[in-house]
Structure 1
Amino acid sequence: MKAIYKGFKPYFRIQFLLFFAILFIGQAAFAQEIGFKEEVAGLVENLDQQGWEKGGIVFTGSSSIRFWKTLAEDFPKTNTINTGFGGSQAHELLHYLEPLVIRFAPRKVFIYIGENDINAGKSVRQTMTEISLIIDRLQSELLDVELYFIGTKPSPSRWEKSGQMQALNAELNTMALSKDNVYYISIWDKMLDKKGQPKETLFVEDRLHMNEKGYKIWRKSVKGFL
């Protein structure tokens, strides 16, 4: 194997290593259940029926993106595509990257992922490993794409895990600083009150998903990167 690897040109070495990294995920450490098959299929069908253009901006990730129903209104001069699904985790987004991101050939991708992972009991390390593989896959398939990771929000219903959530945000920020065309958007402090607690007025009754006031903060935070 070493002799074969040495014979590869740099580009093919990256593809070679990425292939085996993803294969490893599927067969070993991240052999987790992949949910939302029917939801993703329905989302893909709806997008195809509505019609879309390549080269736009994709917003993807978990339900905080899925419920961002005002994307087109918030950014009217931008070709946005919303492919947020379910209460997805990083390994599920990795699995669905082709139908939900890659095929649109976006120039920018805004991603919200990781909160559900931590809430489900994953470690920050495992979550970051899966996020790193998302980055590797997208950068190998979409040359010069810009990736923007929206940091985890301080959900009141999950406040007992705020320490892990903030640790994940710190890792996301560090990762973004170390990689080309990868950026971190912090929204944590903007959603806290003067006592450092989550602003309940930004969330709906479940104290997890946001209302219009919450998305207003996200809109302002994202706008400068469009």
Structure 2
Amino acid sequence: MSDKKAEDILADLFQREKRDKLERYRHLNRYVKKGQILFTGSSLMEQFPVNEIAMTYGIDAVIYNRGIGGYTIPEMLDSMDEQIFALEPAKIFINIGTNDISREDETIEMLVADYRKVLLQIKERLPEAEVYMMAYYPVNVIVAENQPWQGAKRAAELRLQRLEEANHAVKELAAEFDYHFIDVNKGLTDENGQTRKELSIDGIHMWSDAYEIIFENMKKYILE
């Protein structure tokens, strides 16, 4: 089997996995308690074990996670009902765009234009919701370089190059919509500003240890 054929098969499987997750969310959403807390976004949100950590902290809150690994902002725009609106949340924590800024052809202008469309819909359909737009997490290029996934290093490099500008753009978007921009990354980075090696799975995704740090940084927003 050629490398191209194998890549196509893996891409098809990945798309099917995303569709399956979306369908599972449709079923889960039939039984949610409306007006609660929502975490939504891509893989870095999907992999956040927020309920387990909240239980450890003794926090009695209903938190739903509707992250989907691999999602870009345009994909979220096609899935707003499943990822946001069906739950009618009172408080939304959103982390989307990591995969966008990890692509060669993405620009900050494209990121902002797409993200603005998400926020416009939230503002229109959930005008009373408190929205917390999370800063993008750091990466570790050295860890990414040692991964079997072809392109991991380049994706991490692109994200590192664009991180500061992207976070600044998202912060300005938050102000434009009167939403909250929160940077909960304190304690994640090394002396070079990259994710601490022991916290990084593949240079981009993080072990649960990292989410313990993130949760400690953000619990005040969950409780307020």
Alignment pair present for 1:197 and 2:177: no
Rounded Cα–Cα distance in structure 2 between residues aligned with 1:159 and 1:41 = 30
Match of 2:108 among 102, 116, 124: 124
Q: Are the counterparts in 2 of residues 115 and 165 from structure 1 also a CA contact under 8 Å? A: no
Alignment pair present for 1:160 and 2:157: yes
SS in 1 for 2:184: coil
Match of 1:86 among 69, 77, 80: 69
Match of 1:64 among 20, 38, 44: 44
Q: Are the counterparts in 2 of residues 185 and 221 from structure 1 also a CA contact under 8 Å? A: no
Does the C-alpha gap of structure 1 residues 126 and 210 become closer, same or farther in structure 2, counting only changes over 3 Å? same
Counting aligned pairs with the same residue, the percent is 22
In structure 2, the partner of 1:178 is: 176
Rounded Cα–Cα distance in structure 1 between residues aligned with 2:64 and 2:198 = 28
Rounded Cα–Cα distance in structure 1 between residues aligned with 2:29 and 2:117 = 26
Does the C-alpha gap of structure 1 residues 177 and 46 become closer, same or farther in structure 2, counting only changes over 3 Å? closer
The residue identity in structure 1 corresponding to 2:115 is I
Rounded Cα–Cα distance in structure 1 between residues aligned with 2:217 and 2:89 = 20
CA deviation profile, 1:105-142 (whole Å, cap 9, x unmatched): 11111011111001123111101111111010011001
Gaps of 5+ in 2: 1-14, 145-154
SS in 1 for 2:221: coil
SS in 2 for 1:201: helix
Does the C-alpha gap of structure 1 residues 178 and 148 become closer, same or farther in structure 2, counting only changes over 3 Å? same
Alignment pair present for 1:97 and 2:84: no
Q: Are the counterparts in 1 of residues 42 and 69 from structure 2 also a CA contact under 8 Å? A: yes
Report the TM-score, using the length of structure 1 for normalisation: 0.77
Match of 1:113 among 96, 112, 119: 96
Q: Are the counterparts in 2 of residues 192 and 198 from structure 1 also a CA contact under 8 Å? A: yes
In structure 1, the partner of 2:205 is: 209
Residues paired across the two proteins, number:
188
Alignment pair present for 1:143 and 2:127: yes
In structure 2, the partner of 1:43 is: 25
Rounded Cα–Cα distance in structure 2 between residues aligned with 1:55 and 1:37 = 26
Report the TM-score, using the length of structure 2 for normalisation: 0.77
- Off by >3 Å, runs of 4+ in structure 1: 187-190
Greater relative CO (CA pairs within 8 A, separation 6+)? 2
RMSD (CA atoms): 1.8
Does the C-alpha gap of structure 1 residues 225 and 70 become closer, same or farther in structure 2, counting only changes over 3 Å? closer
Does the C-alpha gap of structure 1 residues 70 and 148 become closer, same or farther in structure 2, counting only changes over 3 Å? closer
